[in-house]
Amino acid sequence: MSNGFLPISKEDMQKEHISQFDFVYVIGDAYVDHPSFGHAIISRILQLHGYTVGIISQPDWRNKESISIFGEPRLAFLVTAGNMDSMVNHYSVSKHRRNTDSFTPGGVMGKRPDYATIVYCNLIRQAYKHTPILIGGIEASLRRLGHYDYWSNKVKRSILLDSGADIVMYGMGERSVVQLAEALDSGLDVKDITFVDGTVYKTRNRQDIYDAIELPHFEEIKADKCAYAKSFYTQYCNTDPFVARRLFETYDEKLFVVQNPPQKPLSQAEMDEVYDLPYMRTYHPSYEALGGVPAISEVKNSLISNRGCFGGCSFCALTFHQGRIIQTRSHDSILKEAKQITEDKDFKGYIHDVGGPTANFRAPACKKQQTKGACPNKQCLFPKPCENLIADHRDYLELLHKLRALPKVKKVFIRSGIRFDYLLADKDRTFLKELCEHHVSGQLKVAPEHISDAVLQKMGKPSVAVYRQFVKEYQKMNEKLGKKQYLVPYLMSSHPGSTLKEAVELAEFLRDLGYMPEQVQDFYPTPSTISTCMYYTGLDPRTMEPVYVATNPHEKAMQRALIQYRNPDNYDLVHEALIKAGREDLIGFDEKCLIRPRKIKKEKNKGATAKQQNGNRKTSFQVKDKHNGKPNSKKVAHKPIRNIHKKKTK
C-alpha cells in the first residue's frame, strides 16, 4: 500500500490486488504498526516470509459480519486480545470498570469484549466452521492450561477449549507462527500440527502424547486447591526451553490439552531481524480523526533493547511468557532505530527509555543459561545473587554512550525500571554514576515493593537491607555529583503474606522516609503467577506451606490506606487498622505517630462528665499536620497513650 500499512478494509485489499489473504488477523487493540505491539511484529514476520495478512481491528463482537469483511483466509485466522489481558484492560483490582482504554482510538472504553480472545474465536466459528484458528498474545499465553480467573473467582479451562481455537501460540511467537504457517501451507491438517514448540494443542488420542508429564485432571484442580498448587508449580518448573518437558492436562477420557516445550530464545541476529522490519512506527492514519491511539505516546520515542527477565518476581508473569533467559538486540540495530526516532518531525531531543522488562539486563544471568537454560528450582537473584551470576553493566553503558552521542539527542532516560540488587551485585559503580549523571530526570523510579522481609520473601524480592543499601549509595552518588535527585519507590499492598502487621511496618517506613506515594498498587491476581496461585490456594506452591492472604475487600482497603495514612479521606480506615493491629501507640501526638486521636466535640453543658464527653465524640478527618506532629495551640483533651506496643522502626 502507498502508506505502508497492512490492509484493514476491502478497499485496501483490492488496491493491493489480493483476492484472498493467507491470514486474517483479528486484534483487540487498535492497529498500531510499531514493534512494541505484538500484532505488528507477527504480521510483519509473516509478510517477511511471503504471506499476505489482512488486519481486522476491534470488530463488533455482536455482529458476525464484522469478522467476514475479507472473507475466508487461505490458511488460518489469527486472534489476539491485544497487548494486555482484556480483563486487566477493562477492570481495576477492585473489579470496577476502567474509564479509558489507551489501546483504543481516542482512549474510548468498550470497543472490545471481556475475555476477548474467546469471544472473537466464537464469532469466527459462527461464520467459518472449519477454518483453522491460531490464538496468541498475553491473554492466550497465560491462560493456555487450566487457570484461576480472578474476575469470575473460578478455575477455568484452557482457553483453547473455551475459544474453540485449534492452537495456542504461547510466549513470543515469531518462530512459532512461521513454523505453523509453513505447516499449513504444505497442506497439513491443523489437527496434525502437534510438533511445533511454543504451542498448545488438543487431542482425543492419548497414545499420541509422548515423553510428557501428566498434570492433575482438570476436575481435580477445580475441587482441590492443593492439587491446583502442585499443578501450577509443575508448569512453572517447565518454562525453560532447554529443560522443559511436554505437559498435558486431562479433561475427560477423550479430551487432552497438550503443551509443547517453549521455543528456544532468539539469537541476536534474529532479534535484530524482528526489530529491523519496515514498521510505520505509529497508529493507522484512519484513527487520526478520533484522536489517535494514546498508547503510542509511551513507546514512540523508546527503544527495546532486551526481552526476558531472570528477576523472578512472584507477582510477574514474565517467566510464563517471555521466559527467564535474556535476549538482546545488537548496538547497531538499536542505533539504527534511534536514528529513525531522531528524524521524526515531533522528536524533541529526548529518548524516553532504553530497556525492556528490566532495563539493566543485557545478557543471560550466567554462561550456563546459554546452553543449558535457567535452573528450574533456583532463582538468579533471590534470596541473594547466585554465585554464578555475572553482574556486568559494561555492554549497557557502551550502548548508552553511543545513544547519547547521536546528533539531535539531548537526553537518554531509563524508565522501564532497573534491578537495584543486580546493580549492587556489580562491584564496579560506573553504571550507578552514569545513571545519576545522565539518565535520571530528577527522580528515579525503583520497585522495592515492600519493606517487610516476610512479605518480600513471598514476592521473590531481595531483603529490605538490600534496598536500604541502594538508597544509601544512590544518595551518596548524587551528593558527589552535586545533584538533587530522588527515589520514587513502587509499593504494593495486600500481597500474599502481608497481614495488617506488615502493612503497618510499611506505613512506618514511609513515615521515616518522609514520603507519601500519590498512587498505591494493590496486589492484582493476574493469570499464571506464583502470587496469584498463593492468593487462590493460600499455599506457596514452591514449598506447599500455608500463606496468609488478605482477600476481604475491607482489609485490603485498610492495607492500602495505611500506605497513604496522611490522606484525610483514609483516616477512619487507618484508625481501624491500627486498633486491629494492636498499634494504638501510633495514634497520638508524638512525632512517630501516624495519626492523631479523633477530635472531641465540646459539650454545651460545661458540667458534662468525661463519660458524657466520650459518648459525644464525632469523627472528623484530620488535616495535613503543619506542626511536625506537635500539638497546636488549641487544647485537645486526650488520655495518655501507653507505649507497650511501640517498636523500633526497622
Report the CATH number that the domain containing residue 559 is assigned in CATH. 3.30.750.200
Residue 246 lies inside a defined structural domain of this protein: no
Question: Mean of the pLDDT values across residues 120-126?
Answer: 97
In this structure, of 112-126, 155-169, 243-257, 602-616, the range with the lowest mean pLDDT score is 602-616
Residue identified by cell 474476575 is: 151
- Provide the residue range defining the domain that includes 308: 301-441
Whose cell is 471481556? That residue is 114
What are 267's three cell numbers? 539469537
pTM over 0.85? The answer is: yes
Q: Average pLDDT in the 78-83 region?
A: 98
Question: Same structural domain for residues 190 and 77?
Answer: yes
Looking at the fold, whether 90 and 188 belong to one and the same domain comes out as yes
Kindly report, residue by residue over 359-391, the tens digit of the pLDDT.
999 999 999 998 899 998 889 999 999 999 999
CA 82 to chain centre: 14
- Which whole number is the average pLDDT over 518-533? 93
pLDDT band at 515 (very low <50, low <70, confident <90, very high): confident
Which CATH number do you get for residue 60?
3.40.50.280
pLDDT recorded at residue 335: 98
Task: Give the per-residue pLDDT at 2.
Answer: 41
Q: Identify the weakest region by mean pLDDT among 450-454, 464-468, 622-626.
A: 622-626
pLDDT at 641 over 80: no
pLDDT tens sequence across 42-80: 999 999 999 999 999 999 999 989 999 999 999 999 999
Mean pLDDT score, 548-567? 96
Instruction: Work out how many domains the chain is built from and give that number.
Output: 3
Residue 633's pLDDT is 37
Confidence of residue 629 (pLDDT cuts 50, 70, 90): very low
Residue 367 lies in a domain: yes
Please report the pLDDT score of residue 516 as a whole number. Answer: 86
At residue 520, the pLDDT reads 83
Q: What is the mean pLDDT of the chain?
A: 91
State yes or no: pLDDT of 632 exceeds 80: no
Residues 399 and 341 grouped into a single domain: yes
Among residues 531, 358, 527, 391, the alpha carbon closest in space to that of 460 is found at: 531
Question: Is 182 found in the same domain as 33?
Answer: yes
The answer to whether residue 617 scores a pLDDT higher than 70 is no
Sheet holding 443-449, edge to edge: 443-449, 486-493, 521-522
Indicate whether 607 pLDDT > 70. no
Same structural domain, 559 and 482? yes
Considering only residues 513 and 541, tell me which one the structure prediction assigns the higher pLDDT.
Answer: 541
CA angle 414, 420, 423 (to 5 degrees): 90
506 and 378 within one domain:
no
Answer whether residue 611 is part of any domain.
no
pLDDT of residue 601: 52
370 and 416 belong to one structural domain:
yes
Same domain, 416 and 509: no
Q: Which of 425, 441, 457 is the last residue of a domain?
A: 441
Q: Which of 171, 196, 221 is the last residue of a domain?
A: 196
* pLDDT of 612: 44
In this prediction, residue 534 carries a pLDDT of 98
| Residue in 342, 344, 346, 308 with CA at minimum distance from that of residue 328 | 308
Cα dihedral value 33, 36, 42, 44, nearest 10: 40
| Mean of pLDDT values over 93-111 | 97
Render 227-263 in DSSP notation, one character per residue. HHHHHHHHHHTT--TTTPPEEEEEEETTEEEEEPPPP
Q: Considering 176, 196, 216, which residue would you say is the last residue of a domain?
A: 196
Are 426 and 450 in a shared domain?
no
287 within domain boundaries: no
Given a contact cutoff of 8 angstroms between Cβ atoms, the answer to whether 120 and 28 are in contact is: yes
Domain membership of residue 222 (yes or no) is no
Residue 578 and residue 455 share a domain:
yes
pLDDT band at 623 (very low <50, low <70, confident <90, very high): very low
Are 472 and 340 in the same domain?
A: no
229, part of any domain: no
Cell numbers of 113, please?
A: 469484549
Residue 580 lies in a domain: yes
User: What is the pLDDT at residue 519?
Assistant: 78
Is 465 among the domain residues? yes
pLDDT tens digits, residue range 412-448?
Answer: 999 988 999 999 999 999 999 999 999 998 899 999 9
How far is the C-alpha of 504 from the C-alpha of 509, rounded, in Å? 9
- N-term to C-term CA, the chain: 63
Q: Per-residue pLDDT for 306 more than 50?
A: yes
| Same domain, yes or no: 435 and 446 | no
CATH code for the domain in which residue 308 is found: 3.30.750.210
Q: pLDDT tens for residues 269-280?
A: 999 999 999 999
Q: Is the pLDDT of residue 283 over 70?
A: yes
